Structure 1
C-alpha cells in the first residue's frame, strides 16, 4: 500500500507539530534523501514503492553515502541541510519523518531496513529493538 504524499505530510506535520505542511515537506525531503543514501537494493526499492512518487524519487536519488552515518551523525547531517536547524530541531524532524516512514514500511520491511543501518536507528524510527 502506497502512502499518498498528502497523508504522509499530514502525519509528519502532526508528529513534528509543524506550523504548516511546507515545514513538514522540507523535513521529509531532507530526511528521505539522507535515508535513501544509506539503503541499497531491494530494501530501498520496496520502501520507495510504499511512498508517493515524489518521495520515492527522493529516496531513490543516486546519492550514496560513502560511509554509514551513526544515528547522531545522521541527525547532525539533517541539521546541516535544513536552514536554521539545530541538532535538537533536527532530531525532532528526523523522528517525525522516520516514524512516519516506519508506519508506511510495516514491521517486516522495517526489520530489513534496520539491518542495513548502524545500531541505534531503531530509536530514530520509533521502533526500539530488544537487545
Structure 2
C-alpha cells in the first residue's frame, strides 16, 4: 500500500524543517530521481509501490547514472540540482527524504535497497548499521 501523498510530504517537511510543502516536494523530487538512478529491478519497483504515485513515477523514470555515487557525491549532486543549496543543506534534504522513504519501505526492503548502494548510505536513510 503506497504512503499517501500528504503523509509523505508532511513527514519530509517535518524532518527537513521546511517552511512550506513546496520546499519538501522539491527536495523529494530531486533526491528520489537521483536514488532511482542507483536502484535496479524488483527493489526499485517494490520501493515505488510504497511511495505516492507522483514520486513512484520519478523513481521509476530516473536519470541514468554512469556509476554508483558515493554518499558524498550523491549529496553534491543533490546540491547541484537544488537552487541555492549547499552541501550541508543538500545532506539535510537527502536525509529528510531518504529517512521517510525508508519508513515507507520498511526494514526488509530498506536493507535490500542498501545492498544496491555503496557503503555509507545507511546514515542517509536514518538506519545506521551496527
Please indicate the TM-score interval, normalised by the length of the shorter structure: over 0.9
Contact 2:3 2:52 in 1 (8 A): yes
Q: CA deviation at 1:5?
A: 1.1
1:33-112 to 2 correspondence within 5 Å? 33-112=33-112
Q: State the partner residue of 1:2.
A: 2
CA RMSD of the aligned region, Å? 0.7
TM-score, L = length of structure 2 = 0.98
Q: Residue 13 of structure 1 corresponds to which residue in structure 2?
A: 13
Structure 1 segments of 4+ aligned residues over 2 angstroms from their partners: none
Q: How does 1:114-129 map to 2 (within 5 A)?
A: 114-129=114-129
Question: Does structure 1 retain, via aligned residues, the 8 Å contact 2:34–2:62?
Answer: no
CA contact (8 A) 2:30 2:82 kept: yes
Match of 2:110, SS? helix
Aligned residues: 130
Q: Any unmatched runs of 5+ in structure 1?
A: none
Cα distance in 2 for partners of 1:119, 1:39 equals: 14
- Find the residue that maps to 2:106 and give its secondary structure: helix
Alpha-carbon separation, structure 2, partners of 1:46 and 1:63: 19
Conserved in 1, the CA contact under 8 Å of 2:33 and 2:62?
A: no
TM-score normalised per structure 1: 0.97
Aligned to 1:31: 31
